[in-house]
Chains A and B, each alone.
Chain A
Amino acid sequence: MDWLGLNNDHKLLRDDIAGFAKNELEEDVLEFDKEYKFFDSVWKKAAGMGLFGFMLPESVGGADMDAISLALCIEELAVVSPSFAFAVAVQNIGAYAIEKFGGMDNKADIVKDIVKGLKVALCMESICKLKCNDDRTQISGTSGFVVNGDNSKYCLMFASCAERNTYLYLDTADNCEFHKENEIIGMRSAGIGKFEVKPYAISDKNFLQPDEGEIEYLLKICVSAVSTGICAGSYNVAIPYSKERVQFGRPISKFGMVRRMVSEIEENARISRLLTYDAASKFRDGDRLAPYIASVTARDRAMVCGDRAVQVLGGAGYTKDYPAEMYFRDAKTLEALLYSAEEERELIGKIITD
């Protein structure tokens, strides 16, 4: 075991995913970001590698691994493309949630579809604006910021349904229309957009069974993992640049203030990683605090890392020639999509003191 508590299988998996991300995502990531494009062909390969069923039983095509494995995978993908990592995270959360808490008759088939790559979108608690009618037989409305919604087959929507707030399962073939977000600041390759749900008949089977917040915890762990990946990606762009860029007759990495920024990036990457794995390792115990603290901290640290990467690169960092500014924008997107740090700190304080 190393300092993160990873075993050998974890390390092999990490190296595998890192190689996959580098080979499949790196070349196109800047162009796809500019064009708000989803990695469709890489998505199919990811399905082939089994990246969508990390925590599912083998009976539905899953890999039966732990939350740390999922976090590792999401982090390594995010190092190269935070957007793609976010979409893969949502796919895993969707599959896990439906398998564990779904009430649909054809649940096993749906889960198998998802593992094979048919997309499941997620509209999370912090943003979903859908409401049921009073007798909980119909839902309609429009909600923005659905992640992984582009060409999705299924959707998990957090909805307010007669005093009961929970996730609802919808088949997007029926009465759902997706409108891609074309002006979002970051996560532009994560298939984020608006979901318009025309009157959609629902029954008890559409409701995911009460889960004591498990979906939320898994989401927070994954978002922390994406954030950690942003920190590591920032590291990967800032460190080589600082060693190559010569000013005042020497590489800027020889200057104290640049070294300090480089250190900040690495400090923050480690803090995020430790808290992410801490939360992931406690997932099965249902620990409430760990995922909250990881999510608040890691998202904040990702923002710092993206910012520092832009700063190390200076004028070059402000341009789209390097991914530094993409990490900065992607990090800000994660800050905005879930409850903000200050808001979440009030919740954490409540959990601690109540």
Chain B
Amino acid sequence: MDLMEFSKEHLEFRDEVRDFAQNRLKPIAEDLERKAEFDYDLIMEIGRKGWFGIPIPEKYGGMGKDNVSYILALEELTKVCGATAIMVAAHCSLCVCPIYYDGNEEQKKKYLVPLARGEKIGSFGLSEPNAGSDAGGTETTAVLKDGKWVINGQKRWITNGSYADVIVFTAQTNKELKHHGIYSFIVEKGTPGFSPGNKEDKLGLRSSNTAELLFDECELPPENLLGKEGEGFKVFMRTLDGGRISIGMLGLGLGEGALESAIEFATTHERKGKPLIKYQWVQKLIADTATELEAARHLIYHAARLKDAKVDLNKEGAMAKLYASEVGTRACRKMMDIIGPDSINGTYPIQRLLRDAKLMEIGEGTSEVQRIVIGRQLLGR
């Protein structure tokens, strides 16, 4: 029984996503992984369902649902295909949300509406070759010249990078001001001087696209500045607060997917003539993993509710992401032990879940960065 106070509407929506995940996504997830190619048609199909803008008001092209609904949807997608889920999460949490929270009315009409409606794909360019954990160390520059922003530099590890139509990204306008000099901008695909670069060859999430973004004398009009001047750092910090919940959910969902397949395996297989479920080591692994996942799930939905209540969730978001992502990876690893040797070849998808899960401890702030965030909240700066 799920006593987590989900409304009837929540559960109905979850069932709708679950139906898609189980019947449309699950049968092709392994194939997507093998091909290691971004499936544009599939992604646009998800977009047409409205799931690119779940927590965005209807007047901006979204579904007008809350963040809990959004996280519920990610949970269902992730259990089946982490790569598809992270595509949706990067689009929604990292591109749609900052435009919704910080964009002006014109930007919302121009960019947010088609992004939320699922007509366009969004992305977020923050990390750089020399600015990973140290996001304030952004080296991409933006210089105001003849009334236009001229952008130069390189982004790396950008989810949806090669395919995005709209990208929110950060650039340094004045190195001396350090992170106060970082502004957020919007760039569209096809803008002269802007192009996606090399794709990453990754451990997991292989059908999600992770690419470089290259800026070479790219000119942007002043209206492409997102948020007030000098508040770019705030924009992306707030963006990450929300994004962390989704990445935490991805880690958790992968762990939940692993638990489900291990339970299915254990209840239908024997070891040395004895049903697997009769072994106490199996019972222990299942019990420990389920308990950890349940605890992580409470942290995740707690953080999602805080976001819906529009209160500060800097600490809670970081805690949820830290715990859920570590638990998710551990769950995948341990559940593979129940399945045994067949867990490591293509027989079961569980090895893909493990490889996918590891990214959740790294992306959108490593576990170490989450610990710093939490520590700051508890200990002061």
Contact = CB atoms under 8 A, between A and B. Distances in A.
B344 interface: yes
Interface of B is mostly: helix
Given A303-B333, A342-B337, A318 B371 contact: no
A248 B137 CA distance: 7
A311 B367 contact: yes
A129 B331 CA distance: 27
A346 B283 CA distance: 12
Interface centre among B127, B130, B351, B359 (most CB of A within 10 A): B351
Given A185-B354, A315-B157, A319-B201, 17 more contacts: A126-B341, A183-B346, A185-B345, A247-B130, A310-B203, A310-B362, A311-B362, A314-B133, A315-B127, A315-B363, A319-B203, A332-B333, A332-B336, A332-B351, A336-B340, A337-B344, A340-B337
Contact of A346 (B281, B351, B363, B371): B281
A103 interface: no
A34 B36 CA distance: 13
Interface string A248-263: 1100100101100000
Interface string B41-69: 00000000000000000000000000000
A186 B344 contact: yes
Contacts of A248: 133-134, 136-137
Given A185-B355, A325-B203, A342-B285, A336 B337 contact: yes
B371 A257 contact: yes
A141 interface: no
A317 interface: yes
A145 interface: yes
Contacts of A315: 127, 132, 156-157, 362-363
Nearest to B343: A336
Contacts of B358: 307, 310, 318, 325, 328
A247 B344 contact: no
A144 interface: yes
Interface of A: 34, 126-127, 144-145, 181, 183-186, 246-249, 252, 255, 257-258, 303, 307, 310-311, 314-315, 317-321, 325, 328-329, 332-333, 335-337, 340-343, 345-346
A333 B344 contact: yes
A335 B345 CA distance: 13
Given A318-B362, A320-B201, A145 B157 contact: no
Interface of B: 34, 127, 130-134, 136-137, 156-157, 200-204, 279-282, 284-285, 329, 333-334, 336-338, 340-346, 351, 354-355, 358-359, 361-363, 366-368, 371-372
Contacts of B281: 340, 342-343, 345-346
A247 B132 CA distance: 8
Nearest to A34: B201
Contacts of A333: 344
Q: Which of B137, B202, B329, B340 has the most chain A CB within a 10 Å cutoff?
A: B340
B344 A184 contact: yes
Nearest to A247: B134
Nearest to A341: B337
A184 B282 CA distance: 24
Contact of B133 (A247, A328, A340): A247
B337 A247 contact: no
B67 to A, nearest CB: 26
Contacts, number: 118
A298 B340 CA distance: 18
A337 B134 contact: no
A189 to B, nearest CB: 15
A65 B340 CA distance: 34
22 contacts: A34-B201, A145-B341, A248-B134, A248-B136, A248-B137, A257-B372, A303-B333, A310-B358, A311-B366, A315-B157, A317-B362, A318-B200, A319-B203, A320-B202, A321-B201, A329-B355, A332-B354, A336-B336, A337-B341, A342-B281, A342-B282, A342-B337
Contacts of B363: 315
Given A258-B368, A335-B337, A346-B281, A314 B362 contact: yes
A121 B280 CA distance: 33
B301 to A, nearest CB: 26
Contacts of B366: 311, 314
Given A318-B203, A320-B203, A336-B336, A144 B345 contact: yes
Contacts of B130: 246-247
A321 B362 CA distance: 16
Contact of B203 (A126, A328, A337, A345): A328
Nearest to B337: A340
Contacts of A186: 344
A311 B370 CA distance: 13
B341 A314 contact: no
A247 B140 CA distance: 15
Contacts of B334: 342
B245 to A, nearest CB: 20
Contact of A184 (B131, B137, B345, B371): B345
A157 to B, nearest CB: 15
Contact of B336 (A318, A335, A343, A346): A335
Given A145-B341, A183-B345, A257 B368 contact: yes
Contacts of A341: 337
Listed from nearest, the 8 A-B pairs whose CB atoms lie closest are A340-B337, A183-B346, A247-B134, A342-B281, A325-B203, A320-B201, A257-B368, A185-B344
B362 A346 contact: no
A56 to B, nearest CB: 29
A340 B340 contact: yes
Contacts of B137: 247-249
B333 A144 contact: no
Contacts of A337: 341, 344
A144 B341 contact: yes
Nearest to A257: B368
A255 B113 CA distance: 43
Nearest to A344: B281
A318 B359 contact: yes
A307 B132 CA distance: 19
Contacts of B371: 257
A325 B368 CA distance: 18
A185, A319, A346: which has the most chain B beta carbons within 10 Å? Answer: A185
Contacts of A249: 137
Contacts of B34: 183
B200 A319 contact: yes
Contact of A329 (B203, B280, B282): B203
A331 to B, nearest CB: 10
B279 A343 contact: yes
B255 to A, nearest CB: 15
A142 to B, nearest CB: 13
